[in-house]
Structure 1
Amino acid sequence: MTRPVPVSFELPSGWSLVRLPSAYDEMGFFQAQIVDPDGAAQLYFSNRVTGLGGACTPEMATLHIEELDAEPVEIAGFVPEPTDEAGAPTTDARFVYRVSNLGDGAVASLSLANFTPRDSCMYYNRLLGGRGATPSNSVVAADWMQVDSTSSGRAFASRAEAEAFMQTEEYATLKRILMSMRLQA
């Protein structure tokens, strides 16, 4: 049985949404990558994201997270959770570009979010809430779901390079795609 695609994005010519099948598809989970004309995965989407965990290791630096770009976004079909896991109120949904300085450069990520992660060895890009009147999970729309200092996120040789990335056509395209997300019934 083929389930309907629960999300849509406005994609540039040659870009596509590629479903990532999983053992949980029959339970309504949907994962996909947005790939560019060369077939390279640029963005990731998943609904019904629950049970995230992870452990810090000694080689993982604490990420002091700064939002260099944030813009409100209306997401058709999205119902936010009122608070995050720690009980702090969530914010309105927004596009964010977050950067953390590292001793030897910077790590960054683009996503849709409705909360601000705390400084830690890692954070998850996600929208707390989901589709429908009783959200009970999260939605990921980002270049990386988990960002840390050792294996994920956009790596830059310097903070200046991370800032300069915001002036590129690639950045503008990825931001446009993320901000066009709509959740389907």
Structure 2
Amino acid sequence: MNSNEGIQASVYTRWHQLSVPLAFALAAGSFMLVVFNRGPLGLAATLAVLGLLVPPLVAFKGFPTRNAVRVTAEGLEFSRRSSIAFADLSSWGTDDYLKLVRPGRPTLLVSAVDLPSRERLLREFEQALAAWQRRQPAGTEAARRTHFYGSAGGRLVGLCITALGGAAALMALNLREPSLSLAAVGGLGALFGLALLFGRRG
């Protein structure tokens, strides 16, 4: 498949996703470790910047995400990775992106480059999957549609983010020299967590 065919999208794995919170955790952890041990602020800032940049650079530069996606009668074809057959799917979801779950294989997250492309991708995928399922013998187990927002997993993630954000805000305010900016960042994180915790399925 040529790169100019199909729907332009970015295709991520869980490793791409995890690189972002890992970067924030490394940056915050290294900064706080140096500051609490009364080390030089320059070293703390340098380590924080490195922690913030290295994981995403390794994930996104080492494993490029841009692909052209084409929906076929049997699955999805990608310009820069192997195809995925509908028969291999155990579940799928469309909360923020097209999530494709395959037993024993990395979960793929397909995000179209713009709203019209997203609508086209989801429409073609759902129509092709439904048509494929109708062609299967009776009793064939269909791939389940799942949702993140409003689910137990989504609420658990929201609870963890709320707790971490609140703890970070309290720690920032209880420093020898309280940091309102760090407290604000922690507070914003807690608000995001609350949105996940009490969010409902769209």
TM-score by length of 1: 0.23
Please say which structure displays the higher CA radius of gyration: 2
Q: Which has the higher contact order (CA 8 A, sep 6+)?
A: 1
Q: Which has the higher helix share?
A: 2
